[in-house]
Structure 1
Amino acid sequence: MAEVAMHFNEDSFNRIFPFYFQLSSDLKIINFGKSLAKVCPDLERNALFSSCFAVTRPQLEIVSFAELLKNDKQHILLKYAKTDLTLRGQFEIMDDTLLFVGSPWFTSMNEVINRDLTFEDFAHNDPLLDLLHVLNNAENTSKELKELLLTINRQRNQLKSDQEELNRLSYVASANKNGVVFTKLDGTIFWCNDAYTNLTGFDREDILGKTPLEIGRTSKTDKVEIAKMIAAFNTSESFEVELHHARKDGNSFWSRVKGQPIVNDEGNATQYFAILEDVSLKKRYDESLEIEKEKYRSIIANMNLGLLEVDLDDRITMANQSFLEMSGFELNDLLGEKAAIKFLSPESIKLIESKGILKDNEISESFEVTAINKNKERKSWLVSGAPNYDLQGNVIGSIGIHLDITGQKSQEEQLYLLSLIAEKNINAVIICDAQGYIEWVNGSFLKMSGYTKEEIIGCRPGRLLQGVDSDLDSVKYLREQIKKGLPFNCEIVNYSKTKEKYWVRIQGQALYDKEGAIIKYFAIEEDITAQKNLEDQKENLISDLAKTNKELEDYAQIVSHDLKSPLRSINSLISWIKEENENSFDEQTIKYFSLIEHKVEKMDHLIEGILTYSKIDKDETRNESVDTHAIISSIIDIIHVPQHITIRIVDTLPTIKADRFKIQQLFQNLIGNAVNYIDKEEGLVEIAAEELETSFIFSIKDNGIGMAKEIHSKIFETFKTFTNSKHSTGLGLSIVKKVIEFYKGEIWLESEEGIGTTFYVKLKK
């Protein structure tokens, strides 16, 4: 018969040998079963056999493929290195690999359960399951027998213990310093100890057969506490009350009564017992303590310093009102929170951690921290911490007193900054005490005066610096102001250590404390020697300039008179020559004479313009109401206006405060210019005004030849003319500009060649 070939896939092999693994010739695990993966969860393919398993039987000196091959078909025990699980089985050669087939070695079902294994994880023919079942049944039977024996022994011991307990309870109840009573379910007392009779003053005959309420009730006994006790008694529950208890002599004492039902095996109450304790002394102590606590609470609540209590875990247990105001939180927001995390900045936490303050609540120390309040504002707090003890002297946390020094810190920073500013100031800074003696000066003061700090500290500034040329009125003014504690500001001559004079502008004032008392004086001195020298030079220059201007004005008058005289003579001579030789001159000669007359006339206009220009800011000026409409109307009538040109006033022009003559000069030059430079067959000049809040803007618009933009800024320069007009002297717009500057006004223009020009004049009301 032919040999039957057997073929397995992985699933069928797993069902038969679920705890198998296969080794390559280099002892690497190349495959393993699904159940083996459950008991060896960290097992991986290609892992080295010797790093995962140890051969415990037989003992092998060297673990190698050849050595394992020698022991095939023998019983092998392997121990998994990571969980100490033992596998038993044998190795079989398969092609060029070794196949281990076996199963875990368990000694109880609990081991199977603890490794989350089920019946499906074992091969169906594995005898280990049957053996484990037998062991499990034996274990359960043995366990039940042991429990039964323990129950019997426990019950026997309980009976003995109960008897002993009853004897002890009887002794304890009799010997107890507190009163003890036993009652029936109806509340009647059937037993009491000696302490109960001693506390109440009643005899046993007075007590037995009565209820505790009949014995102990007084007019002072709290009805609420009585109702609480009766309710607990009726429902067979425990109770604890504090109330006034009667004595036989008519007095009473504070008592604490604890009641407890006695129940049978079914849990039903059969009797009641109660313990009566005299707590009068404790009550008085508690009341006294409560009074002291109330004082303590009142002090804490009203103190200006913030108080915070924390437990050993740094959790907040109490905060007073001042602390709540400092932090911005409500009390409910803080209780139970960790104080350091709730308030402190990260850098402050590191600081106190480095000092060990958070870890050791027994440290008493003061330190400065940066805190963050509810509004996320950074504040500076000064914290003084100390341990907090209970009545037994045990440390239960710590108490911290907190002072908000944010304002003080800010002032310190400001003072530091001010001191830097004062020290680096280019002006001299000096600080004196309340009596006027120098306490501090900066480097600029030392450089200016030439003294050292050692030479001036403790001196009075006036005696040190003032001298012969120091103005006595200024000295008196300084003394009076300082004496009155008022600010002072003046200029005075000081003297350096080498007796060199220098001018200073000094300003200063007194510094006051919160009560209004002067604590210091400070002053700033600016060296104005150079400025004073410039002022002297300026006064000399002004004087010289005024003299020169007067001479120039006189010279202009003289020159204009001397120039006009020969011009008039020339004009007269030409007239005489023309009259005497009326018919003797040819046309060319007459033309020459006309040119001479025009040049003479132009020269006369030029001289007149120079005189006018020189007098604009020197004439006595009258400030009167000037009707610009009437002024401009008269100008139109006075000047020569060709027939082809129309001058129109738009609306009514305003009345302004000015000098009538200067305003006439201003508008006469502007209107005359507009007329002279019109080249159109129909010329038009429009004059208008616009009222603003504090000024008027006049406009003189023409349709003349216009001007190029590049000469707009040059037309107001003296003697500058940009046309060939015979009427132009180069002074008209210079006169206009000078008048406008005299009245602190403005002038500007808009112009386009071939289209026309508009001049704008802005004058104050």
Structure 2
Amino acid sequence: MQSHSLEFYRSVVSNSMDLISVVDKAGKYTFVGESAKVILGYAPQELIGTEAYRFIHPDEQMRVDLLMRNLPVQRKVRIPAFRFLSKTGQWRWLECTATNMLHDRHVRGILINSRDVTEEAKLGYDKDYHQAYYKSLFFEHPDAVFTVNLKGTFQQVNQHMHSLTGYNDNQLHGMPYAKLVAPHSLAAANTAFTKVLNGLAHSVEICIVTADGVEKEVSVTVMPVYFRGELQGVQGIAKDVTEVNRTQKLIQEQAQQLNNILESISEPFYALDDEWRFTFVSAAFASFKGMDRSELVGKCIWEECPYLLNSRFYQQCLDVAQHKTTLHFEETFTSPKPCILHFTIYPTPDGIAVHFVDVTLQKRTEQEIKKLSFVASKTINGVVIMDPDRNIEWVNDGFCRLTGYNRQEVIGRKPSEMLQGPETDKKVAAQILEKYRSQKPFSEEILNYKKSGEKVWFYIDVTPIFDQFDNLVNYIALETDITEKKEAEKKLLKLADDLYKQNRDLQQFTYIISHNLRAPVANALGLAQLVKRLPKETETYDVALQKLYFSVQSLDSVIKDMNNVLSIRDSGRTSPREAVNLKQVCNEVLEHFEKQLSYAGAKVHVSIDPALKLASIRAYLYSILHNLLSNALKYKAEARPLEIRITAERDKRGYALTVADNGTGLDMHVVHSQLFQLYKRFHPELPGKGIGLFLVKTQVEALGGKITVDSEPDKGTTFKILLGAKHVQ
């Protein structure tokens, strides 16, 4: 083998592209090759004797030191790229191999072979830099990003794919994209995949089905991925557009709805752009102009309607366009036809919009109403003008005088809400409301109340008012005070009732005279004739005289009964009422019958409020309860103990006093028409005159009440007395 000289090795080391150097145990350079000048800018003598670690970047000194400590064991260590300070102050990237030659007598140090890899490091840095950008774009993208291989299966996905599909990364990896696509979108998805495989990047909307079975609308942008000129796969970005599409659809529907609304507006409506050209014309406006809409759209309004240039409308349009504020006003036109129009002009993003109503007839109606109002204000009757909902718009002085309300108090209110009260007939009120709804003229009488609470009867005459389109615009009601008339009718009815009762009493008295008086009078007359012919010393004379006495006594009893009845009727009308404690009166009656009730083993249940006081006649209430309890004792059932229940409850017109027993009872089908007649008796086996119930009914009626009976044989009898008396403190 050929041996080389020392100069040979020196020349090779000096001209090597790598930097060959030797450091001692302390890390100081003992030898530096000539290439240090080319690589680092240092002359070899500038480095010899210096510590190598001082030139290494501080962030990497520890890494290099840890690797160098392995030399005693491994003898040779490879040190990956690290930064080394050049003479110019720039950091150069070096890659080194360190060989332990401390025991070599020719070297006595650590041989370091260094290669400048700065350019490679820069390329690697740029690669990592761009890779970081790509990863950020892929994984941190706010939308779902994925890659698909040429077979159509997912290779890589970002975190948002889980949010979009409901599948996690492991489930998606290797899954065919077709599994995600809804059946009705599969054809579109396959077409998009074919296009991108042919090199065409594009976007498509499809429907996918999530892991939970929910269908979503997704916008997908797909693009081919090439490496060194070869197609490697497809990258895509997917965005959930379900809500966006729904919103867009809703906006379209709303736009269509708005267009339908504009088309349905019965009054003329149109829109103008900033050059005063028609951009929208409603069917009503086209009809108003007598033209087709296509003839108007795009035309300038001032050219189409030159007569408007000298109108207030023209100036108002300019003001709205300039100041962007809505204006309302009316204007009278004489051309092309006389009319009064009410305009609403408001700004739009690209011009103005105009809506107007022909109020010619309305204005004429208002003028007529003003005239009628003037006439109505002078009449003594009440006049009320209401809107279609029966809210008051105007009343005359007569109404204020009749009701006590002023105009400010009634405007906007319904007459029924103000005037009807507790005693207003609900059926009549409902009939009036129904007649209002029929929108036909009607008349009615109703009890109302003034502001002061005073009752007043009104005769109302209501007429509905319609416009030219048969739309209801007003009700006009005339109200006449008929209180005096109703009071007269009430008195007349009472008089008729009194006459009826008196006639009935006369018939009853006629019956009494013809039956109850005739028998004792005839007996008395016969006996009187007999007595005159009989000798006084005979026994027959004494017997005849005794019978004559009984006949006269019977006659006297009948006359007393008649006087009692007549006195009840008279005193019932004239006697003053007093505060009567009903429970106290009941207790007094029960005390009177205490022995009889105890003897009969009767149970009496009383349910009357101890504080209840009625404005009534005490003697009558006592007599009524006395007679009813007397009858209960007299007609008790033999088969069971007597039970009596006495209650007093509030009734809608006063108080209801009830006395019920479980006695023998009556067959109401048989006795109903004769129950309260004078001298009518239904239990001849028991003593009595048949006047008790007649007196009860007479006293109840004298108190202004009514009495009803409910009875069944062998079950008992219930008397219910309806007292119109008012409760007093």
TM norm. shorter chain > 0.5: no
The normalised TM-score by structure 2 is 0.40
